[in-house]
Amino acid sequence: MLGLEYAKQLDQKDPLASYKAEFYLPSDGIYLDGNSLGLLSKRAEQALLQSLEDWKKNGIDGWTEGAEPWFYFSEKLGKMSAPLIGAKEGEVVVTGSISVNLHQMLSTFYKPDGKRTKILADELAFPTDIYAVKSQLALKGMDTQENLKLIKSKDGHTLDEDDIITEMTSDVALILLPSVLYRSGQLLDMKKLTAAAHERGIIIGFDLAHSMGAVPHELHDWGVDFAVWCNYKYLNNGPGGVGGLFVHQKHFGKAPGLAGWFGSDKNKQFDMEHQFSPSEHAGAYQIGTPHVLSAAPLLGSLSLFEEVGIKAIREKSLALTQFLMELLEQEKLHEVFTMINPKENERRGGHVALQHEEAARICKALKENKIIPDFRSPNIIRLAPIAFYTSYEDVWKFVQTLKKIMDEKTYEKFENTRNVVA
């Protein structure tokens, strides 16, 4: 029997338990939406305050002076981020947003040539990925219906890697896939897919929005061509926080599709010449001036990851989601909900996904009980226990609350429609 005392015992043995105190938690509540927006840490808050202080004291000189000079900030944060995805120094820069970075990478790497004109993506992709792909196809004068090739899902929730490889045909110029599918939480075998793409002469990149800060990767060793991500989910950089991108060093020197002055060689940037002299590293793919105050919290957040290490984060994340799945089964909630996330550790990202026709109502009932889940249209509840600030006791209490809501049908008093922000 997985009871409350057992959960408390797990918390007592948890080497990361003390980090919960580093975060501002909802009062008397349980937060399970860190895969959508992570919570604020005290270190992130302090890092933001430090940048404000640098601005206050130094004005324009904050770019090169102060505690954290802004001129080199994006590169410094990139260096700190690199170990989380197995990248080499210089392959990562913190810049833009995930959508802007997608456009940058697609405009840089999508080069239709001869019969290789198609972009391969998946039908379960997050909408912004598809919007970006269609935009870039149109900008290159390509018919979007003919040149966007979508991988089909057999069950509507997951993808089969062998099915993806089958679609890597000789007319494909570029592949864009998620590392973790945003609804179901399936973790794709990126190493296998990258090797298959390169065997066929195809460029491949990944959207790491739902794996960055939750799952270790070895992007450099796998040979992944490019990747993009947001930092406001598992990396707790705050709403709208600056994103990041990875470009494998084999592509250093490749001209960015979208050139901007902050992609310049730092020593030449202020020469003000109209001839673009790009950085020799991933910094070349920056476009505009860094959004310092939206990047600053990441400095504090990444210091937590440096202390703990991504492997320890992954171990606890897997243990929490495993505990959650076992509790759902123990309370027979697996008979009420359809669990659409993979159960195998090697195929599961950082969240558990439950399907129910009354999902929107149930999420509202959970919020009434001070539990914050995540709803994804039309009928998915996503639950992300976060290694830094979710305890096993939190998970146990959540499942008991969910069981009570379902037994008593208290969700029926709410409308089964999503809020404006779901």
- From the list 73, 232, 388, 392, the catalytic residue is 232
The verdict on whether residue 356 carries a ligand-binding annotation is no
129 labeled binding residue? yes
User: Catalytic: which of 6, 72, 126, 131?
Assistant: 126
Tell me whether residue 382 is one of the annotated catalytic residues: yes
289 labelled binding-site residue: yes
Q: Annotation-wise, does 158 bind a ligand?
A: no
The one catalytic residue among 33, 54, 122, 207: 207
To the query of whether residue 265 is one of the catalytic residues in this protein, the response is no
297 is in an annotated binding site: no
HEC string of the chain equals CCCHHHHHHHHHHCCCHHHHHHECCCCCCEECECCCCCCCEHHHHHHHHHHHHHHHHHHHHHHCCCCCCHHHHHHHHHHHHHHHHCCCCCCEEECCCHHHHHHHHHHHHCCCECCECEEEEECCCCHHHHHHHHHHHHHCCCCHHHHEEEECCCCCCCCCHHHHHHCCCCCEEEEEEECECCCCCEECCHHHHHHHHHHCCCEEEEECCCCCCCCCCCHHHHCCCEEEECCCCCCCCCCCCCCEEEECHHHCCCCCCCCCHHHECCCCHHHCCCCCCECCCHHHHCCCCCCHHHHHHHHHHHHHHHHHCHHHHHHHHHHHHHHHHHHHHHCCHHHCCEECCCCCHHHECCCEEEECCCHHHHHHHHHHCCEECEEECCCEEEEECCCCCCCHHHHHHHHHHHHHHHHHCHHHHCCCCCCCCC
Is there a binding annotation on residue 261? yes
Active-site residue (options: 182, 382, 389, 394): 382
Residue 160 annotated as lining a ligand binding site: no
225 is catalytic: no
Q: Is residue 126 annotated as involved in ligand binding?
A: yes
Query: Is 99 a known ligand-binding residue?
Result: yes
Residue of 118, 183, 233, 361 marked catalytic:
233
User: Would the annotation count 127 as a binding residue?
Assistant: yes
Binding-site residues sit at 98-99, 126-129, 207, 210, 232, 261, 289
Binding-site residues for pyridoxal 5'-phosphate sit at 98-99, 126-129, 207, 210, 232, 261, 289
By annotation, the residues acting in catalysis are 126, 207, 232-233, 382
